[in-house]
């Protein structure tokens, strides 16, 4: 079992030399990048090389591959994530030395001090919605700071320091740390059941979202359609609540959506005026994300027409239906989707792009608890694919559970001829190459390390 974040740990006024245990993740690397920009000396460690680590090294960070006690011997503050195991040697030595050990949310709170904070939360859609808000604010002439859970393609980064007082963050609900920030504006994309291993029940999960909303200093923007969000809305006591979605009474209302092509087109209604537009990215879910971003912007006082035009400049984030290459007429994409609702949305968007081509999904389940709870839902969502190559579970922060493997999803799949369970990592590229033919679209999917299969798949397709 991984560590529980101790948010009672006081944040030092000066972090000094900061060491990140697990520095390569999007969130951790983004925070590290901003601390470097603020003048801090930054070191870090991780289990493997990555593009994030390469970029941080260019900025002056000293990063070690592998965890070792010596990595923390010369630092003032240690930053960790909830995915850290309590047996980690760097964590243990930091405890022994009495060093301040901050959860990454505390490091982020340190960076956002004195800023007008826009916190984006929800079971899914956070990274894209955050990217849309950041892009739109920039287009509207504001220079926001931001820390996102994924790289915004237009900026080539998951974080940046801006000159304005606005700071946009992706607020993580998985461990409850989204409650920790001094949020001015709260955007709740949805409250789809997830992370119930942490919260214990759906009621607790939704109650924490209500706490998050009610803690916002200015206003809340929340989905009018998601069932969980509707229940949370009834618990919100804030005076200013801006709903968005398809519901007749939504403040920012989606009138119609055409998600049949590579660029989703939609019309949104606000204060009696209709605005038609299209995004540079596909998917009905992204029209909903855009409506949420628009709710934030009009809540901040920006004109609806200019705000919507600014949102359309958003060109996507990495690991969200991202094309990596074409080999032998077979296109290979990667996507971060890891919850049944996300998988459904991602495959619907992919289907609009692939047209008549076959869709081959290479899916890696994430977490034993999520797989156990949603095996049937994953099987149903993956059925939108023409073929499925299913990997075993990426454990992340969890211990193995007896009897819980990727095979639970495989057995629940409706058409066994289209399901290919490949638990051996090294066998995956070959399995994909055997199935794929010219005109097909292959999409690796999951929030673990399934993206590392892409180079091998491209190579296998070449041969």
Structural domains for the chain: 18-104 (3.40.50.720), 114-311 (3.40.1190.10), 322-462 (3.90.190.20)
Q: Which of 109, 128, 138, 170 does the annotation list as catalytic?
A: 170
The yes-or-no answer on residue 344 being catalytic is no
Q: Is there a catalytic annotation at residue 189? A: no
- Does this model's pTM top 0.75? yes
The active-site residue, picked from 43, 77, 81, 127, is 127
| Cβ atoms 144, 162 nearer than 8 A | yes
- Tell me, what DSSP letter sits at residue 115? S
The rounded distance, in Å, linking the Cα atoms of 42 and 35 is: 7
* pLDDT tens, N- to C-terminus, the chain (463 residues): 567 767 788 899 999 999 999 998 878 999 999 999 999 999 999 988 888 899 999 999 999 999 999 999 899 999 998 778 888 999 999 999 999 999 988 999 999 999 999 999 998 888 999 999 999 999 999 999 999 988 888 888 889 999 999 999 999 877 777 888 999 999 999 997 655 555 557 788 889 999 999 999 999 999 999 999 999 999 999 999 999 999 999 999 999 999 888 889 999 999 999 999 999 988 898 999 999 999 999 999 999 999 999 999 998 887 777 888 899 999 999 998 888 888 998 898 888 778 788 999 999 998 888 899 889 999 999 999 999 999 999 887 677 888 899 999 999 999 999 999 999 999 999 999 999 999 999 999 998 889 999 999 999 999 8
Q: Where are the beta strands (DSSP E) in 72-196?
A: 77-80, 101-103, 116-121, 145-152, 157-160, 166-170, 183-188
Catalytic residue, candidates 77, 109, 126, 243: 126
* Residue that has been written with the tokens 């979605």 in this structure: 245
Taking the CA atoms of 210, 178, 170 and 350 in sequence, report the sign of the dihedral they define. Answer: negative
Distance CA 407, CA 393 (A): 9
The H-assigned helical ranges of 383-453 are 407-412, 428-435
Region of 396 on the Ramachandran plot (φ > 0 left; ψ -120 to 50 alpha; else beta): left
pLDDT at 199: 53
Token pair 């007082």 in the structure block, residue: 165
pLDDT at residue 429, rounded to an integer: 97
The Cα 356–Cα 359 span in angstroms is 9
As a whole number of Å, the CA-based R_g of the chain is: 22
Q: β-strands 77-80, 18-21: how paired?
A: parallel
- Structure confidence at residue 397 (pLDDT): 64
115 classed as catalytic? no
Burial of 248 (0-12, 13-18, 19+ CB in 10 A): exposed
Q: What pLDDT does residue 193 have?
A: 67
């Amino acid at each position: 079992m991984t560590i529980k974040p101790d948010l009672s740990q006081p944040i030092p006024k000066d972090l000094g030399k900061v060491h990140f245990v697990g520095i390569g993740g999007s969130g951790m690397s983004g925070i590290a990048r901003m601390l470097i920009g603020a003048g801090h000396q930054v070191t870090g460690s991780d289990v493997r090389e990555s593009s994030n680590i390469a970029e941080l090294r260019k900025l002056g960070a000293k990063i070690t591959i592998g965890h070792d006690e010596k990595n923390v011997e010369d630092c003032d503050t240690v930053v960790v994530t909830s995915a850290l195991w309590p047996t980690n040697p760097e964590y243990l030595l930091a405890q022994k030395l009495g060093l301040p050990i901050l959860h990454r949310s505390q490091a982020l709170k340190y960076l956002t001090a004195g800023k007008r904070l826009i916190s984006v939360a929800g079971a899914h859609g956070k990274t894209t919605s955050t990217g849309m808000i950041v892009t739109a604010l920039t287009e509207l002439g504001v220079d926001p700071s931001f820390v996102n859970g994924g790289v915004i393609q237009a900026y080539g980064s998951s974080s940046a320091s801006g000159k304005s007082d606005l700071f946009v963050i992706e607020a993580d609900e998985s461990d409850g740390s989204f409650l920790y920030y001094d949020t001015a504006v709260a955007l709740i994309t949805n409250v789809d059941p997830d992370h119930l291993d942490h919260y214990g029940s759906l009621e607790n999960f939704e109650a924490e979202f209500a706490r998050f909303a009610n803690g916002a200093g200015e206003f809340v923007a929340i989905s009018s359609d998601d069932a969980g969000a509707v229940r949370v809305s009834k618990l919100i006591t804030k005076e200013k609540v801006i709903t968005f979605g398809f519901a007749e009474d939504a403040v920012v209302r989606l009138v119609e959506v055409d998600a049949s092509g590579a660029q989703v087109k939609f019309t949104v209604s606000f204060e009696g005026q209709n605005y038609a537009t299209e995004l540079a990215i596909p998917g009905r879910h992204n029209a909903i994300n855009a409506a949420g971003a628009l709710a934030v912007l009009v809540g901040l006082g920006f004109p609806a027409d200019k705000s919507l035009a600014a949102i359309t400049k958003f060109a996507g984030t990495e690991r969200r239906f991202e094309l990596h290459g074409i080999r032998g007429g077979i296109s290979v994409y990667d996507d971060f989707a890891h919850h049944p609702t996300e998988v459904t949305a991602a495959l619907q968007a992919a289907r609009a792009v692939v047209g008549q081509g076959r869709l081959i999904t290479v899916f890696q389940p994430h977490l034993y608890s999520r797989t156990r709870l949603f095996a049937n839902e994953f099987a149903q969502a993956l059925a939108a694919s023409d073929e499925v190559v299913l990997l075993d579970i990426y454990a992340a922060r969890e211990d193995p559970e007896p009897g819980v493997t990727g095979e639970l999803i495989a057995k629940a799949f409706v058409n066994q001829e289209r399901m290919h369970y490949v638990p051996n990592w090294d066998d995956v590229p070959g399995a994909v190459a055997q199935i794929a033919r010219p005109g097909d679209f292959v999409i690796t999917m999951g929030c673990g390390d399934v993206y590392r299969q892409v180079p091998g798949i491209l190579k296998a397709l070449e041969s």
